Amino acid sequence: MKFRQLLIAITLIVALPMPALFAATETSDIQTETPQTLGSEDHADGHGDEGGHHGLPPNAVVLKEFGPFAITNSMVVTWIVAFGLITLAQIATKKPQLVPSGLQNFVEWLIESLIEFFAGILGEKMAKETFWFFGTAFIFILFSNWFGLVPGVGTVGWAHGNPGFFHSEHLSAPLLRGVNADLNMTASIAIFFFGLWFYWSIKTIGPGGFFFHIFNVKGHKLTFMGVFIFFIYIFVGVVEVVSISVRPIALMFRLYGNIFAGENILETVMALGGPYFGWLAVLPFYFLELLVGFVQALVFALLTAVFTSLMCSHHDEEHEH
């Protein structure tokens, strides 16, 4: 109970979305350039020796193409984070002990705390059925956000007009990119959740219950006031449909905007501090981004759980009674 209250309190205090106005606004030819073309271009083409592109490129850089398929720098980081989490889980559960200790104890504490947290929102039954998504989403987003803060992610790659690595200038094509600083990833998670939300809703309350939950048109008498209320509920239902349709868009842009803007702020502050004091100037913002990474993972998991609870949990309570 205390763990859940702590998480909710941190969310309410800190979860205001950071403005994406700090994000890079240069969306010119860098969006379509690849590492191969970046290394062969001349210094006199608009970016020159003045430092090139300041901030993370808006689009993920294509590292390798296989026909219609392409591997981007954000995909590489996705695989690294996923492999690390899978390896961690395998090590923690390789030799389980009755009295857990060390890594097993930490993993069990994390899982049990998350189950308790989601049970307070969804109910115990629904939380156990859907934890595979909500728990995975929180853990994956959290460690993806933190991995994006590892030195070298977003700062090592190809410089515009110079094919070498490890430059002190800002790079226009980083070798690695934060997972959630790519709109493709946040969009895929949000759209996948929307499909699951629809499935869970239909499974729990049925097609009829789903419709009447949105359009509460039953039980109104054929009187003037009854007809008036009927049309009011129709209007409210249409507004609810629009609200449901906007939810995945809001989820994807909230997560993407905060992470993308945060990484650009770090890079901008480091540039202002120069090659000698940039690391010192960025330290306060770095620890702030650690907190933001946690909060944004919590916000995404909390909002998706609340959206599911609004449609499913009340029906479960009535069924149990």
Other beta carbons within 10 Å of 215: 17
> Tokens standing for 289?
């981004």
Place of tokens 């499935």: 199
Number of domains in the chain: 1
The string of pLDDT tens digits covering residues 95-125 is 887 777 788 888 889 999 999 999 888 888 8
The string of pLDDT tens digits covering residues 158-192 is 665 444 444 445 566 777 888 898 888 999 999 99
CA 77 to chain centre: 14
CB 76 within 8 A of CB 178: no
The string of pLDDT tens digits covering residues 238-249 is 888 888 888 999
Q: Which domain holds residue 112?
A: 2-320
Residue 72: what are its φ and ψ, rounded to 5°?
-105, 170
pLDDT at 30: 37
pLDDT at 208: 80
CB 94 within 8 A of CB 277: no
pLDDT category, 10, cuts 50, 70, 90?
very low
CB 201 within 8 A of CB 312: yes
Q: How far apart are alpha carbons 84 and 159 in whole angstroms?
A: 29
Given CA atoms 144, 145, 148, 151 in this order, what sign does their dihedral have? negative
Place of tokens 């008498």: 221
